[in-house]
Structures are given as structure tokens and as C-alpha cells.
Structure 1
Amino acid sequence: MADGRLAAAVQAMPKTELHVHIEGTLEPGLALQFAARNDVELPWTSLDALSAQYEFTDLQSFLDLYYRLMGTLRHAQDFHDLMLSYLRRAAQDGVRHAEIFFDPQVHLANGIPYDTVLDGLHAGLREGEERYGVSGALILCIVRDLPLQDAERMLDLAVPRADEVLGIGLDSAEVGHPPKLFEHVFERAGDLGWHRVAHAGEEAGIDYMQQALDLLHVERIDHGAHALDDAAMMRRLAEERVPVTRCPLSNIRLHVVKDAEGLRIRDFLDAGVITTVNSDDPAYFGGYLTDNYLALVQAGCTLYDLARLGEMSIQASFLDQGRKAALLEEFEAWKLEYLG
């Protein structure tokens, strides 16, 4: 299949996105726009100057810029506009549903009330579904390198509007902040009826993944790149049907792996692990969802491999069975057109 037809096929493929941080969709131009309208001073005043900062040596160098630009989000309208911008782009990539991380602890530290964040994001979700046909839900991420008591307070604030959140996640700098620290927080989230996921195995190793599974009782592992270091972990993920949300361009840009071949996505598929492709923080890592799928072609993945990943993205979502069945039916129609 020619490159152009392959890209068109991937873009048309009905799929879900299960690992994307809404703050990570803040494009440089939009950050400058928010800074100007909210009187937020940034060290960079031109698009070229800000874009030049998007070269990272590791996770922390990325997080430094990420948190700095989050300070441009001040009002519900900003969160609405950010969400709408992402959903428009997601629709272009064939996304039918997205389960979207957000980091309210950081916004609270910036003086932005939780209600302001939630109101803006939900307004964007509603308008985005009407305009673009992409449904969405929110996963409240705990920022693991903030004090533990902040996480507990965050949950206190979230309780009155618990039904507006799909689940809890765990993100930010991984090493030195193991999942076991957040066992009580995740237990409380489970009592609220929230789904549970966690970043593990991106920077840190198998032990963090084991803690996430055994102590936090997560239903998905976000990243999970280091599962390949341990055959027992790969077997466990496969046998227990725990999906991993892989993020190709993120792993490459943050030097988790050297190149696309280092992602070893086909090894996950061959081991029977439910594996999904996601964009993580696309404004920072150089590509939205189609770009992440196409990066795998460089590692030898065929359209048939990408189709397996797309189908798994639907299966790994937290959608109800009726909506999953409808999306899988749409997916079968796509297969007939592009795979024959």
C-alpha cells in the first residue's frame, strides 16, 4: 500500500484515544494566545522562540516547560477552548471517543478553582461532541511528585462532582514516586466508582508496574514500556487482560527508547497483550494520533498490525458494551474497505 493510501487508511480508522493529557495538547500558538488574553508573562514572546523550547532530553525537561505553559490557563473559557481544539484534531484522526487526563492539582496551585477547570473542560466536551462527533470523558490525574496530602485534598474537592469524572490516574515524574504511596487515594477513588489507571513502566521498571496492579488495582497500565524487561510481567498482562497504553512519539522524544524499533510493539501483540496507540502530549512530542500510528510503520508494522491496535483501542476503553459494539461494527466496515 502506497504511503499516502496507508496514511489515509489509518486516519479513517475508527478508534479511541486512551492516553492523552489535555494540557499536553496546548500548542505553542494557543499558549501565546492564552498568555496574551490573560496577561500572563512568558519568557518567550514569539512563536519561533517558544517552539524552539520543544526539544527535550528527558521527562523532567519536558515537564518543566509543560507546567510553565499550564500557567496560561486561567478561566473556564481557556479550558473550553483547549478541549475543543483537541477534539477537532482528534476527529481528523478518526477518533470516535477519548478518555482524557487532566491535572487539576497544578491548576489549583496556580489559583484556579477546581470548578472552573471542570466547567470549562465539560463545556468543551459537550460542544466537541456536537460539532465533531467525538465523545469524551475525564480522568483526574494525581501528580505523583507533589506532596501526598495534596492528592488527598484533591479527592476531597472532587467528591461533590464525582459523577463528572470517569476515573483516576497517576502521572508526572515517575522515579522516586512509586505507586504504593497512593494506595489509599486509589482506594478512595474506587469507592467513588471511578476507574483506575496509572503511569508505570515509563521511566521506572517492573516493580512500579507490579505495585500499580497489586496495590492500586489499576485496570490499564499507561506506558508500560518496561514490561518487556520481564517475561512474567508480559504473561501477566496477557492473562489478566490488562491493556497498556503505548505512546510511540512520546517514548522516542523523551528517550525512553532510541527509535521506533525500540518500541517493540509487535512483541506486545505477539505476547497477547492488549496494546493501544496514543499521543500522550501531542503538542510537545510532534504528532497527534495518526502520526503515532504511522511511526510504527518505521518499525515494520503493517496496516494489519495497525488495525489490530485500533480494534484493541475500542476494546480497552471504558465505554459501555452497547457503544463498544457500535464502534466495533463501524470498525468492521472500515476493515472491509481497507483490508478487503
Structure 2
Amino acid sequence: MSDFIAQLPKAELHVHLEGTLEPELSFALATRNGVRLDYDTPEALIAAYDFHDLPSFLAIYYKAMEVLVTEQDFFELTYAYLKKAREQNVLYCEPFFDPQAHTSRGVPFATVITGIHKAQEAARAELGIESQLILCFLRDMSAESAMETLLASLPFKDWIVGVGLDSDEKHNPPRKFAEVFKLARENGYKLTMHCDVHQLNTHEHIRQVLDEIVVDRIDHGINTLDKPVLYQEVAQRGLGLTVCPVSNRFVVQNLTTAEIRRMLELGMRATVNSDDPAYFRAYMNENLQALADDGMTRDELAQLTRNAFAVAWLPDARRAQYLDTLEQYLRQAA
């Protein structure tokens, strides 16, 4: 099974670039930029990764970003993730980035996205991994800040495939950002939003995502299973669900294997992703292996992978090429 997973051609649709900041790179950037860290070694930093819910994770997550200052920093962050992903046979990915977490510290939007874009281009040429960028708004900041960020993105919109919504959901419903997402769609962006696991008012948030924002995809989305009216609507629309098993195990103490299997049984387009792999110590292969260790079959893992290419924001011809590559592998591995 481990060989099957390692060689499986993959797509990743839910990974935060800032969440791929490995401790060793964090220390190197801190030294270069004169940023003081609260820990003396990378090992000590990893030992501090004691997450039990979403807010406890976010507290460490945002603090760690302070080492990201220059265009070169964002280049190195992005290239390191893409290199790791390609080593795990990820052929295509749609990483998130959180510009407000940087512009609020005085780092210009152009600095952030230019460093990321140059790394994407270099990785495409040198490593053979294709990627498209998703801009995420921070839901615990104001709608006005999100709108300012959206407007700042428009000169770079050829570098961005879509927009998302992440960070702390408590008292920050999707509806808060309705005008921002409306304008994003008018400018050609695809739409997705986080509906994290077991959050306050999660079912109402999912309803708003479906009926008011009218997203093209849902990030996480496990709680759609709680109500037939929600999971039936998601299945009928063919919406992708970007589930992150190891992340779930940290944040809600459950790998959610049973829920992912249930999604497949219901014909929902569930996918597997790594979320914030530097913090949860698990990239794509480790997430798939965790599900295999918990009883998932090759056929189920294959379907989750097939779903990822199917719901990726790709031109139909390119999607068909990736799916053909996957099916050829599955035939050979049978």
C-alpha cells in the first residue's frame, strides 16, 4: 500500500502555503531578517505544536509568519512546498495564500504574490509540477479589509485562479463577505470557502456557502453529512470537498475516515489534502497512508484522487490529460 500511495499521481486542492513553513526554513528566514523566535531550535518549535482546536492552532500559525518579509522569502517558501509535493508525485496543486496576514505587518501585496508566482514558474519548469494560486481572505478581519485585498489582487488576477475564506469561523459567517465574493466572481475568480469541522453555527454557514455565496467548492465540509438537505445539495451540484484527515485528527481528534467513506458512498466528490503539513507533520502521502492504516482500500484512495482532478479548476482538456495519467497508473498497479 505504501508503494501504491507513493507512486499514485495526485492533485492537492487544500494546502496553505504559510502552513508549509518548515521549522528549519523558519529559523533560516528569522536569522536573515533579524526576527526573534520564541524557540531555540527547530525541534523545540515542533515540540510546541500542541493543537487541540482551531484557535490554538491559529495562535501559533500567525506568529510563525512574521519571518516572511521579502520576495525571496515567499519564493523559498513556495518552492520548498512545490518541491516536496512533486517528490510525493503531486502533479498539480492549487495552494492558498493569506495576503492580509502579511500586508497587515507592512509587507506589500506585490512582494508576497511576486515571490510566490516566480516560485510557481520555476517549479513548473524545473520540477514539472503545475500549480494555480488561490487568494484566501481572513474571516476574522473585516469585510472592508477583504475588499481592499481583492482590489489589490486585480492587477495580478492572471496569476490567481480563485478566492477562498479561512481562519476563525466563530461569529464570522460567509454572509459577512457576500459583496467581496460577488465582485470576485464578476472578475473571473472561482469561489471556495472553509467550512471547518464542528464549528459554531456550522450548518447555517454551510447553507450560506451553498445558497448565498454559491461557491464552486467547499473546503473541509465534513458537517454537510449531518443534514440530508446539505449533503444532497452538495452531491447534486457535484461540488468538491477538500477534506484534510491528519489536520482533523489534530483539531477535532478524529481522522474522519468514516465520514470520508460516507461521502464516497453518497456520491460526493470528497478529496484528500494536507492543509498545513509543516504543522501537522503530514504531506499528501502521509494523509493517504493514515487513511489506509485506518482501513481505506486502494479503490477508495483511487476514487478520492480521481475526485481531486475532477474538481480542480482546470481546463477540460488539461483535466482529461491528468485523469488519463491516473487511470493508466491504476491499470498498471492493479
Report TM bin, short chain.
over 0.9
How far is 1:230 from its partner?
0.9
How far is 1:252 from its partner?
0.7
2:257–2:291 Cα contact (<8 Å) kept: no
Return the match for 1:227 from 224, 227, 249: 224
TM-score between the two structures when normalised by the length of structure 1 = 0.95
User: What is the alpha-carbon distance in structure 2 between the residues aligned to residue 263 and residue 18 of structure 1?
Assistant: 21
How far is 1:231 from its partner?
1.8
Instruction: Name stretches of at least 5 consecutive residues in structure 2 with no aligned partner.
Output: none
CA-to-aligned-CA distance 1:195-218 (integer Å, 9 cap, x gap): 000001424321111101111111
User: What is the alpha-carbon distance in structure 2 between the residues aligned to residue 228 and residue 25 of structure 1?
Assistant: 29
Check if 1:139 corresponds to 2:134.
Answer: yes
Return the match for 1:251 from 239, 248, 251: 248
Please name the residue that 2:331 is paired with.
336
AA aligned opposite 2:67: T
Regions of 4+ moved over 2 Å: 201-204, 258-263
Distance 1:20 1:278, change over 3 A: same
Return the match for 1:129 from 124, 141, 147: 124
Check if 1:91 corresponds to 2:49.
Answer: no
Return the match for 1:306 from 301, 321, 325: 301
How far is 1:48 from its partner?
2.1
Please name the residue that 1:168 is paired with.
163
Check if 1:72 corresponds to 2:67.
Answer: yes
User: What is the alpha-carbon distance in structure 2 between the residues aligned to residue 214 and residue 299 of structure 1?
Assistant: 35
1:175–1:203 Cα contact (<8 Å) kept: no
Check if 1:280 corresponds to 2:275.
Answer: yes
Return the match for 1:52 from 47, 66, 69: 47
SS of residue matched to 1:19: coil
Please name the residue that 1:3 is paired with.
none
1:190–1:196 Cα contact (<8 Å) kept: yes
1:201–1:208 Cα contact (<8 Å) kept: no
AA aligned opposite 1:336: R
Check if 1:156 corresponds to 2:165.
Answer: no
Report which stretch shifted further, 179-188 or 324-333. 324-333
Please name the residue that 2:187 is paired with.
192
Please name the residue that 1:104 is paired with.
99
CA-to-aligned-CA distance 1:69-127 (integer Å, 9 cap, x gap): 11100000011101110011101221111101000011001111000001100011011
Check if 1:212 corresponds to 2:209.
Answer: yes
Please name the residue that 2:4 is paired with.
9
SS of residue matched to 1:173: coil
Aligned length: 332
1:261–1:298 Cα contact (<8 Å) kept: no
Return the match for 1:294 from 289, 297, 300: 289
Return the match for 1:33 from 13, 17, 28: 28
CA-to-aligned-CA distance 1:257-295 (integer Å, 9 cap, x gap): x33355521100000000100000000112000111111
Percent identical residues: 37
Return the match for 1:178 from 162, 173, 178: 173
SS of residue matched to 2:213: coil
Instruction: Name stretches of at least 5 consecutive residues in structure 1 with no aligned partner.
Output: 1-5
2:244–2:274 Cα contact (<8 Å) kept: yes
User: What is the alpha-carbon distance in structure 2 between the residues aligned to residue 148 and residue 234 of structure 1?
Assistant: 28
CA-to-aligned-CA distance 1:102-160 (integer Å, 9 cap, x gap): 00011001111000001100011011111211111110000000122111111121122
Distance 1:113 1:189, change over 3 A: same
Return the match for 1:239 from 209, 230, 236: 236
How far is 1:243 from its partner?
1.0
User: What is the alpha-carbon distance in structure 2 between the residues aligned to residue 308 and residue 220 of structure 1?
Assistant: 17
1:148–1:182 Cα contact (<8 Å) kept: yes
CA-to-aligned-CA distance 1:56-79 (integer Å, 9 cap, x gap): 121111111110111100000011
1:170–1:197 Cα contact (<8 Å) kept: yes
User: What is the alpha-carbon distance in structure 1 between the residues aligned to residue 37 and residue 196 of structure 2?
Assistant: 33
**In angstroms, what is the RMSD of aligned CA positions?**
1.1
2:99–2:135 Cα contact (<8 Å) kept: yes
SS of residue matched to 2:132: strand
How far is 1:8 from its partner?
1.5
User: What is the alpha-carbon distance in structure 2 between the residues aligned to residue 54 and residue 284 of structure 1?
Assistant: 7
User: What is the alpha-carbon distance in structure 1 between the residues aligned to residue 276 and residue 56 of structure 2?
Assistant: 14
User: What is the alpha-carbon distance in structure 1 between the residues aligned to residue 322 and residue 210 of structure 2?
Assistant: 28
Return the match for 1:270 from 248, 265, 270: 265
